[in-house]
Amino acid sequence: MDTDGGTDGGPGRPLLAVLTGAGISTDSGIPDYRGPRGVWTRDPEAEKLVTYGYYMADPEIRRRSWRMRRDSPVWAARPNAAHEAVARLARSGAPLRVVTQNVDGLHQLAGVPERKVLELHGSSRTVVCTRCAARSTMTEALERVAAGEEDPPCRECGGILKSATVMFGQALDPRVLGEAMAVARASDVFVAVGTSLQVQPAASLAGLAAEHGARLVIVNAEPTPYDGLADEVVREPIGEALPPLLDRLAGGG
């Protein structure tokens, strides 16, 4: 497995892995889920909209889910200072891999090459059929919703469509997870940013990196279960703290 995802880097250059969660995107106007003002903290019922069993069994849940997707703040969101800092590091040629729990695509919009980003929970910008696995764009599906299809079926087979994200009750893509684990094991520095480190198996990547000798840095507003393993814990706002932190780590500091 090519831990640098391609052509840059070289022998002896430390690999920096960045695991990002919802907290890195809050400055872009996308609320997190489990924080004090998180989506599920404020409305526990909203979790049903992203739970596979409920979604597949209940047409009303699907209709509500499509309305949620239509009104999502993701479509107006732009990369913030933290995303830009990660993208600058990618452009610098430093060996870097981004493993994200987010489905918003903001790392790629900021300029991180696709080959350097592993989306553990999939992408909200793509739609997949639960029956035939046909894929299309979320833009196309939302145009159908706007035209009056409250629960648009697959145009290929008539099956149920969903966003190409990993819902509760679904397993992560084993290929993506395997690559993420390989990155964690190979990393010299592992930075967990804006993640509660409570959702498995993504959270275990921090422990896996530390077990294999990586310097573990956690940047998060709230305590995480892995703070005790960290070499450094940063509580400052992510948009302010991450740019200088990545500059320092990239320079070996």
Which residues touch 142 (CB under 8 Å, ≥6 apart)? 66, 69, 70
The CATH code of domain 35-76+126-165 reads 3.30.1600.10
Give ranges for CATH 3.30.1600.10 in the chain: 35-76+126-165
Asked if the model's pLDDT at residue 142 lies above 70, the reply is yes
Average pLDDT, the chain: 91
Mean of pLDDT values over 106-116: 97
Q: 76-86 pLDDT, tens per residue?
A: 999 999 999 99
Q: Which two tokens stand for residue 93?
A: 């040629």
**Burial (CB count within 10 angstroms: exposed 0-12, middle 13-18, buried 19+), residue 194:** buried
Q: pLDDT band for position 199 (50/70/90)?
A: confident
Class of CATH domain 1-30+79-121+172-253: alpha beta
For residue 42, what pLDDT is reported?
A: 62
Q: Read off the pTM.
A: 0.88
Share of the chain above pLDDT 70, in %: 89
Give ranges for CATH 3.40.50.1220 in the chain: 1-30+79-121+172-253
For residue 215, what pLDDT is reported?
A: 97
Asked if the model's pLDDT at residue 4 lies above 70, the reply is no
Asked if the model's pLDDT at residue 216 lies above 70, the reply is yes
Q: 12-34 pLDDT, tens per residue?
A: 689 999 999 999 999 999 986 65
Q: Hey, how many other C-beta atoms are within 10 angstroms of the C-beta on 30? A: 20
Give the residue carrying structure tokens 């489990």: 34
Q: 233-253 pLDDT, tens per residue?
A: 999 999 999 999 999 988 766
Q: Which of the two residues, 131 and 8, has the higher pLDDT score?
A: 131
Known active-site residue 121: yes
For residue 5, what pLDDT is reported?
A: 44
Q: Which of 83, 107, 121, 212 is catalytic?
A: 121
Q: Which two tokens stand for residue 230?
A: 């960290």
